[in-house]
């Protein structure tokens, strides 16, 4: 929330609202000036309320409060522009949580790079009977992220499994589709990822019954 701002003037000094007989009393002027210093940030917030409620222009000390309104998970060490983008897009991301697109968007926002996401499931079509089902039987998702340095290799999430199932979408017969998401892995805003932070993020984004493997390449 807003705090005191040294030197911030008030648009409505309290001394101006008193009868003229009090204007020459030095003690009263100093006393009311101290109250003006306390009230000035409040009046500033009221006068600029629309800007305070917009994550693009809200002061830093207001941004965390706005994040609570939309349940945005702000990482303390994130750059200011990343924190503002997280609050601005939080509602739309909540609607996509649990989907590949939602996971990719969350990782893209966190790392500044395009992740590669491979699901264990898949879809297929065939004109003949007995076509094997696509994908793997174990619900799993593999996330690969390119880093600018040594990311510490791969790791498993959720249940500590070996992550073997779900590395690819399976053959799946004629016309199969693994459902992976990939593209250009690095961008101008790429940041060195924190493995623990990424594992927490992936665990929150994927469905509760789905395990995951995180690979930092």
Question: What is the DSSP secondary-structure string of 46-83?
Answer: HHTHHHHTSTTT--HHHHHHHHHHTT----TTS-HHHH
Sign for the CA dihedral angle at 85, 88, 94, 100 comes to negative
Roughly how many angstroms between the first and final C-alpha of the chain, as a whole number?
A: 40
The answer to whether 178 touches 170, Cβ cutoff 8 Å, is yes
* Cα angle 189, 194, 87; round to 5: 60
Whole-number percent of the chain with pLDDT over 70? 77
Rounded to two decimals, the pTM is 0.57
Q: What is the pLDDT of residues 70-106, one digit of tens each?
A: 988 877 677 888 889 889 989 998 999 999 999 999 8
pLDDT at position 74, please?
77
**Which phi and psi angles does 117 have, rounded to 5°?**
-120, 125
pLDDT for 184 beyond 50:
no
Q: What pLDDT was estimated at residue 9?
A: 85
Say how far apart CA 1 and CA 44 lie, in whole Å.
13
pLDDT tens for 2-36 read 566 777 888 889 988 888 888 888 899 899 999 99
């Amino acid at each position: 929330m807003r705090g005191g701002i040294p030197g911030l003037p008030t648009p409505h000094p309290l001394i101006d609202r008193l009868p003229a007989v009090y204007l020459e009393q030095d003690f009263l002027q100093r006393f009311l000036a101290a109250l003006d210093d306390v009230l000035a940030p409040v009046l500033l917030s009221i006068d600029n309320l629309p800007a305070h409620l917009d994550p693009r222009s809200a002061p830093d000390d207001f941004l965390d409060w706005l994040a609570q309104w939309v349940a945005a998970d702000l990482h303390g060490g994130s750059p200011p522009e990343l924190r503002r983008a997280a609050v601005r897009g939080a509602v739309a991301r909540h609607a996509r949580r649990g989907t590949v697109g939602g996971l990719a968007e969350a990782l893209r926002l966190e790392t500044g790079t395009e992740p590669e996401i491979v699901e264990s499931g898949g879809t297929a079509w065939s004109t003949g009977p007995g076509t094997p089902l696509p994908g793997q039987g174990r619900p799993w998702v593999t996330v690969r992220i390119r880093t600018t340095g040594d990311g510490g290799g791969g790791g498993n999430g959720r249940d500590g499994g070996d992550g073997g199932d779900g590395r690819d979408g399976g053959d799946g017969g004629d016309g199969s589709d693994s459902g992976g998401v990939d593209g250009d892995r690095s961008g101008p805003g790429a940041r060195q990822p924190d493995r623990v932070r990424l594992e927490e993020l992936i665990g929150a984004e994927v469905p509760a019954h789905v395990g995951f493997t995180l690979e930092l390449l």
